[in-house]
Amino acid sequence: MTLKDSRGLEVYNLYEEIGGLKLGLIHAPLTKLGFSFNIDNIRQIIKYAGKMGIKTLVLPPFMPYGVNSDAGRETLKSISINRRNPYVRILKHLARLNTAYIISPYIVEKSRSFYHVSNLLIDGEAGVSKFFSRKILLSQQEVQANIKPGASIDVISDLYLKYSILLDEDVLALELSRLMSYIGVDVLLITIRQLPPYLELLSVAKALQVFTGLTVIHTGYIIEEGSNIVDANPTIIVLPDGKIHVFNQNNPVLVTIPLKILKESKRTTDLDKTRRVLSITLQYLRKIRRYKDFRTII
């Protein structure tokens, strides 16, 4: 069912006939370098979502500045986030009052003197924040900006479902995706800014779902500068039962999905096969480390 409130927010309640707690996804425009403007707009949607039984709410990527990690080192200094940033404090307050958990994907994290491409979890019930799943494979621009790569894949939980996130180059590293299904993730969130010309976003999301057996959600975004849209990608939901939902509107959209649907639709993967594949991969990685020359292995 689709609703539209007086402010132009479109609400899509998928599987509305199924009750219980929900996952919420916000697909809404962000203004480039518009910190206050973006927070004010998202705040209103979060308050609306709090009345709809949403347990976990996923914000658009690149909050709160509407700028990605290829912006250059000087810009990164002004858009980076740490635990003391006003953005984190605002989200903690909103999560406590309106919804239990908030996920803010694809932010620039400042940790001591280092920058990381990261994601932010706000636990409104416990009143804590956590950066997680720092991007492992960096773009050339990110390397030049002296961004540091991550070294682990983190799994977060809302006490009902388990989530993890892959960003850009990490999405196309299928070994990481395979690992997700093995460690018990229910929902894999991804964000891809740009693909090679021979790949198409929807096809990648569908293939990733088949490969992992998980619900795959591409968190879309719309970046505006003045009256122009300078960058955009759709929000795509691919469920294990084959159903696909795509949202590419330029106006604010809130999508809700019952957690029960996401839990029950998860296809049981053959963990023995996954374990065997990972075991063989690990054997070859050990050989490569030992000989330090791939040509000695093949």
**pLDDT digit of tens for each residue in the chain (298 aa)?**
455 554 589 999 999 999 899 999 999 999 999 999 999 999 999 999 999 999 999 999 999 999 988 877 788 889 999 999 999 999 999 999 988 899 999 999 999 889 999 999 999 989 999 999 999 999 999 999 999 999 998 999 999 999 999 999 999 998 888 888 888 899 999 999 988 888 899 999 999 998 888 999 999 999 999 999 999 999 999 998 889 999 999 999 999 999 999 987 665 445 566 666 667 766 766 676 665 554 444 4
Predicted pLDDT at 178: 83
Please give the full DSSP string across the chain, using - where no structure is assigned.
-EEE-TTS-EEEETTTTS-S-EEEEEE-EEETT-HHHHHHHHHHHHHHHTTTTEEEEEPPTTTTTT--TTS-HHHHHHH-B-TTSHHHHHHHHHHHHH-SEEEEEEEEEEETTEEEEEEEEEETTTTEEEEE---SSPPHHHHHTTBPPP-----EE-SS-EEEEEEGGGTT-HHHHHHHHHTT-SEEEEE-S---TT--HHHHHHHHHHHH-SEEEE--EEEEETTEEEEEE-EEEE-TTS-EEEE--SS-EEEEEEHHHHHHT-----HHHHHHHHHHHHHHHHHHHHHS-GGGT-
Same domain (yes/no): 84, 126: yes
Do 201 and 55 have their domain in common?
yes
263 and 230 in one domain?
A: yes
Is the same domain home to 32 and 47?
yes
- Domain identity same for 282 and 167: no
The domain that contains 90 carries what CATH number?
3.60.110.10
The set of residues, in sequence order, having a beta carbon less than 8 Å from that of 142 and lying 6+ positions away, is 69, 70, 117, 135
Same domain, 57 and 195: yes
CB atoms within 10 A of CB 250: 12
How confident is the model at residue 296, as a pLDDT? 47
277 and 262 co-located in one domain: no
Based on the domain organization, do 191 and 283 belong to the same domain?
Answer: no
Report the domain count for the chain: 2
**Do 219 and 283 belong to one domain?**
no
Q: What integer pLDDT is reported at residue 215 of this predicted model?
A: 95
245, 291: one domain: no
pTM, rounded to two decimals: 0.90
Question: pLDDT value at position 295?
Answer: 47
| Cα(296)–Cα(138) distance, integer angstroms | 28
- Name the nearest CA neighbour of 156 among 191, 122, 181: 122
Question: Domain range for residue 120?
Answer: 2-267
d(CA 11, CA 5): 8
Q: Are residues 257 and 277 in the same domain?
A: no
Same domain, 72 and 113: yes
